[in-house]
């Protein structure tokens, strides 16, 4: 028999957090998140997401042993913006047992129904740095830090057997940036943009310079993704939370901003060095030794993650996307140690971005699927 227990006590929170580490203990592709970050997601007093929305979490036990977990969320700002009554689930983990998964999903749906919500979508978390979806392709490759989720292949069956259907796919692509050459078509588009003089690139030497642009980056972030499936207007505290976390590992000389003729920020490229290897060695810990290991990995990793890439919709058809990708690769070539790259989680609903990526010849190699089910 499966017992569902709400995560309220300190003991239950620890069980909720620790279950994932035990489940994937021997999986070489899994990258353990920082435990402090997971605890933060459960902290209703400190995480900025809880200022406008609600979430609860549960663990599933059988014979006194934790066998699964789930979180249910109501993002009120998302629902207000999109005029929907949607709940989401996140932090879902389960042993390969349909009864356990069913009990967890039943609990999340009952929670949503009690709030008058009519759909359950997920996995979808507490902010834009939380990875979307169940991984349905590419489990043989290492997880890209925690900007993506990682799960066993059987998760797809657990979700679909319950009755969930596809909502949207997020595809990640592989590229060797030092070997990559821009197609002539893209080069010509960049030249046209340069001649028009309506867009230009702003580069940085250090983090202090980036911080001076922080307010403008926050404004651009909230505007650039407005047509994306997952979009909702982030609060100022949420944007601070996102950017402060990003600035911890970003390489300043690779950060590129795109400005228009009035020096308004209309796009940006925020590549991150991949610190997955160090995170695996740290096993969720973040003490002095672990921080030194992360700082060292930033200097020696040969992988780069292109996750923070955006341009305002009105500039995408003006050669903006071409300039964006040209800038992205030019910034990477300044750092020849990066021989492997991942363009993480581009939604299939971002039609122009996906089309441009395919034209550039990048290779899709991971797929994360967000699921949905109607609540009756």
Query: Is 371 part of any domain?
Result: no
Quick one: the chain helix, strand, coil %, rounded to 5?
40, 25, 35
Domain boundary among 114, 147, 170: 170
Cβ-count burial 91-101 (b if 16+ within 10 Å, e if not): bbbbbebeebb
Close Cβ partners of 222 (under 8 Å, ≥ 6 residues apart): 233, 234, 239
d(CA 174, CA 201) in angstroms, rounded, equals 25
Domain boundary among 146, 170, 194: 170
Cβ-count burial 102-113 (b if 16+ within 10 Å, e if not): bbbbebbbebbe
Pairing of strands 303-311, 265-273: antiparallel
Q: Rounded to an integer, what is the distance from CA 92 to the centroid of its chain?
A: 15
Close Cβ partners of 70 (under 8 Å, ≥ 6 residues apart): 57, 58, 60, 89, 90, 91, 92, 93, 104, 105, 107, 108
The phi and psi torsions of 164 (rounded to 5 degrees) equal -70, 150
| pLDDT (0 to 100) of residue 318 | 64
Same domain, 127 and 22: yes
Query: Is 312 part of any domain?
Result: yes
Same domain, 218 and 299: yes
263: left (phi over 0), alpha (psi -120 to 50) or beta: left
Q: What pTM was estimated for this model as a whole?
A: 0.90
Query: Is 372 part of any domain?
Result: no
Same domain, 217 and 80: no
Query: Is 204 part of any domain?
Result: yes
| pLDDT (0 to 100) of residue 16 | 98
- Please name which of 294, 208, 215 lies closest in space to residue 31, comparing C-alpha atoms: 294
Same domain, 92 and 183: no
Same domain, 326 and 242: yes
pLDDT in tens, the chain (376 residues): 999 999 999 999 999 999 999 999 999 999 999 999 999 999 999 999 999 999 999 999 999 999 999 999 999 999 999 999 999 999 999 999 999 999 999 999 999 999 999 999 999 999 877 889 999 999 999 999 988 899 999 999 999 999 999 999 999 999 888 887 777 877 888 888 777 777 888 888 888 888 888 777 777 777 766 777 778 888 888 888 877 887 788 888 888 888 887 877 787 777 889 999 999 999 999 999 999 999 999 999 999 998 777 777 777 666 777 777 787 777 788 888 999 999 888 878 776 667 767 766 788 999 999 999 999 8
Q: What's the structural domain count of the chain?
A: 2
Query: Is 199 part of any domain?
Result: yes
Same domain, 164 and 238: no
Same domain, 131 and 205: no
Same domain, 95 and 244: no
d(CA 114, CA 112) in angstroms, rounded, equals 5
| CATH (domain of 56) | 3.40.630.30
Boundaries of domain holding 134 = 3-170
Same domain, 217 and 357: yes
Query: Is 374 part of any domain?
Result: no
| pLDDT (0 to 100) of residue 224 | 65
| pLDDT (0 to 100) of residue 317 | 65
Domain boundary among 128, 148, 170: 170
The DSSP element (H or E) to which 368 belongs, if any, is strand 363-374
Same domain, 208 and 335: yes
Same domain, 309 and 278: yes
CA distances from 134 to 71, 121, 172 (A): 14, 11, 13
33 secondary structure, DSSP code: P
DSSP letters, 127-182, are: STTSPPSEEEE-TTSPP-TTTS----TTHHHHHHHHT-EEEEEEEEEEE-TTT---
Mutual orientation of helices 184-196 and 321-333 as an angle, nearest 10°?
Answer: 100
């Amino acid at each position: 028999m499966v017992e569902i227990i709400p995560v309220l006590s300190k003991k239950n929170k620890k069980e909720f957090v620790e279950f994932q580490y035990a489940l994937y203990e021997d999986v070489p592709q899994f990258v353990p998140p920082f435990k402090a970050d997971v605890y933060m997601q459960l902290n209703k007093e400190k995480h900025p997401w809880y200022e406008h929305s609600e979430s609860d979490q549960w663990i599933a036990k059988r014979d006194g042993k934790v066998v699964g977990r789930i979180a249910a969320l109501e993002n009120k700002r998302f629902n207000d913006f999109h005029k929907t009554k949607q709940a989401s689930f996140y932090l879902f983990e389960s042993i390969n047992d349909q009864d356990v998964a069913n009990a967890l999903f039943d609990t999340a749906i009952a929670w949503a129904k009690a709030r008058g919500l009519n759909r359950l979508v997920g996995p979808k978390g507490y902010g834009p740095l939380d990875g979307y979806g169940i991984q349905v392709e590419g489990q043989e490759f290492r997880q890209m830090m925690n900007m993506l989720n990682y799960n066993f292949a059987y998760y797809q069956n657990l979700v679909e057997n319950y009755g969930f259907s596809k909502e949207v796919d997020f595809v990640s692509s592989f590229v060797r940036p030092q070997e990559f050459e821009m197609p002539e078509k893209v080069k010509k588009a960049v030249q046209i943009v340069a001649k028009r003089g309506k867009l230009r690139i702003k580069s940085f030497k250090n983090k202090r310079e980036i911080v001076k642009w922080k307010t403008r980056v926050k404004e651009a972030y909230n505007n650039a993704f407005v047509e994306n499936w997952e979009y909702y207007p982030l609060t100022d505290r949420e944007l601070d939370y996102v950017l402060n976390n990003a600035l911890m590992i970003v390489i300043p000389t690779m950060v590129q901003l795109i400005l228009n003729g009035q020096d308004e920020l209309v796009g940006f490229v925020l590549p991150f060095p991949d610190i997955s290897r160090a995170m695996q060695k740290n096993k969720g810990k973040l003490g002095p030794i672990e921080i030194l290991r992360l700082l060292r990995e930033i200097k020696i990793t040969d992988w780069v993650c292109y996750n923070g890439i955006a341009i305002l919709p009105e500039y995408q058809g003006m050669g903006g996307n071409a300039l964006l990708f040209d800038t992205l690769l030019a910034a990477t070539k300044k750092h020849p140690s990066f021989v492997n790259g991942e363009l993480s989680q581009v939604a299939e609903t971002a039609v122009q971005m996906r089309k441009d990526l395919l034209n550039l010849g990048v290779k899709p190699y991971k797929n994360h699927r967000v699921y949905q089910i109607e609540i009756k």
